[in-house]
Chains A and B, each alone.
Chain A
């Protein structure tokens, strides 16, 4: 996957988890939870989707890496590059 594809995938997962939110203006460098209603259970849904879809495990210590869209892409790129 390219970085752009990874970003689209993350956005698609988030859209599935918080379907009432408008993600079209989501800024890449601001924490996602400051821009849309996404609580801790929703965040765990993102972790679960990554696990189910791509077999990616995100250890709890790394959760902070998924705070913004940009940091998520940067963190996931090495793990999704070969997909």
Chain B
């Protein structure tokens, strides 16, 4: 075990706000994950027709006026909902806080694609005459938009920006918030990730052209990581924002402390635009374990990144076998099998789905796993039914993305 750090150098989670295709708060989301309830449905996408997707059904008017919704973006709306829910969950009264010391750090896979496609579609009706191009375009597509909309909604004047990190974005938003707290740049971080990818035909079409867009007659069975019959990604939207604080501050205000972030790592494959690299994933997992000062046998649950692609899943399984092969204690699951790939939100959202395990000692499964691909064999893969376990001290969360960006976060049960 590593030596205990001073409370100013320990970063804890004190609030969670989320929207997923199968739940609009942590309790609903957890209930769905334990009940095996998928959030994947059929929907129609411009030029594509019927596709399968994970759509969130949160109340958009809970924290926004209709005009804000019209002017802003879906990612902004998701971010505002998650940020407000997280602040409420953390029992923070913004009126009593120094809003210049709150930072907003949101991971995104991409941003602006949806809005650009919409505008091009719109001016097509006018023979591509650009005088019909919206004056709202630029503020909608700037990369900081989702985080910036949160500042406008909440009157937060501290730093805000997004972190473009493909599908590792959610974890990286969390890591950025942690680092800014450690640097004492802010007193409170709203950290996580968001995605509005289901609004973009290009994202669906891109996966389809790669031969990596999932299809299945039953939408709820379409996302099937590690299964022999998996055939690709289910594109989803979603968001998850955590309230992060230094332990010293959280204790001072008597906050309910959920967990502590003790390990994290980010590295790059430097090998391919799309295909992952097991060697670099192994390095990333080991870096995070080292940072946490623990060994593989300490990990109770691994949330896999596995997206359900033919090529990607076996690579991650190979990396996990390499690190955890000699320590077959960790139980392994997959959250995308329920909600599809929430892109920039995935890292944070999937982590939020697993954190209740510290309380209920249940590991939600990976669903839709009917015929395990031998290349995806893992010890203690939790299949189709939740598993009750005796000990949950550490949870490890993998999140990887295109261009070879890898991220790992390790969360520890909170002990003063």
A interface list, Cβ under 8 A from B: 17-20, 37, 41-42, 44-45, 48, 51-52
Contacts and interface: CB of A to CB of B under 8 A. Distances in A.
18 contacts: A17-B67, A18-B67, A19-B70, A20-B65, A20-B66, A37-B67, A41-B71, A41-B135, A41-B136, A42-B67, A44-B135, A45-B135, A48-B132, A48-B134, A48-B135, A51-B131, A52-B126, A52-B132
Contacts of B70: 17, 19
**Which 6 interchain pairs have the tightest Cβ spacing?**
A19-B66, A20-B65, A44-B135, A20-B66, A20-B67, A18-B67
B132 A19 contact: no
Nearest to A18: B67
Contacts of B71: 41
Given A48-B134, A51-B132, A52-B126, 18 more contacts: A17-B70, A18-B67, A19-B66, A19-B67, A19-B70, A20-B65, A20-B66, A20-B67, A37-B67, A41-B71, A41-B135, A41-B136, A44-B135, A45-B135, A48-B132, A48-B135, A51-B131, A52-B132
A44 B131 CA distance: 12
A17 B70 CA distance: 8
Contacts of A19: 66-67, 70
Main secondary structure, interface of A, reads helix
Interface string B61-96: 000011100110000000000000000000000000
A17 B67 CA distance: 7
Contacts of B126: 52
B141 to A, nearest CB: 15
A47 B71 CA distance: 16
B133 to A, nearest CB: 9
A16 B260 CA distance: 46
Contacts of B135: 41, 44-45, 48
B159 to A, nearest CB: 25
B128 to A, nearest CB: 14
A38 to B, nearest CB: 10
A45 B137 CA distance: 12
B130 to A, nearest CB: 12
A66 to B, nearest CB: 16
Contacts of B134: 48
A21 B277 CA distance: 54
A45 B136 CA distance: 9
Contacts of A20: 65-67
A59 B29 CA distance: 52
Contacts of B136: 41
Nearest to A52: B132
Contacts of A48: 132, 134-135
Contacts of A52: 126, 132
Contacts of A44: 135
Contacts of B66: 19-20
A37 B66 CA distance: 13
A35 B71 CA distance: 21
Nearest to A21: B67
Interface in B102-135: 126, 131-132, 134-135
Residue from B67, B126, B132, B134 having most chain A Cβ neighbours under 10 A: B67
A52 B66 CA distance: 22
A39 to B, nearest CB: 10
Contacts of A18: 67
A18 B66 CA distance: 8
Contacts of B132: 48, 51-52
Contacts of B67: 17-20, 37, 42
A44 B138 CA distance: 14
Nearest to A37: B67
Contacts of B65: 20
A51 B12 CA distance: 53
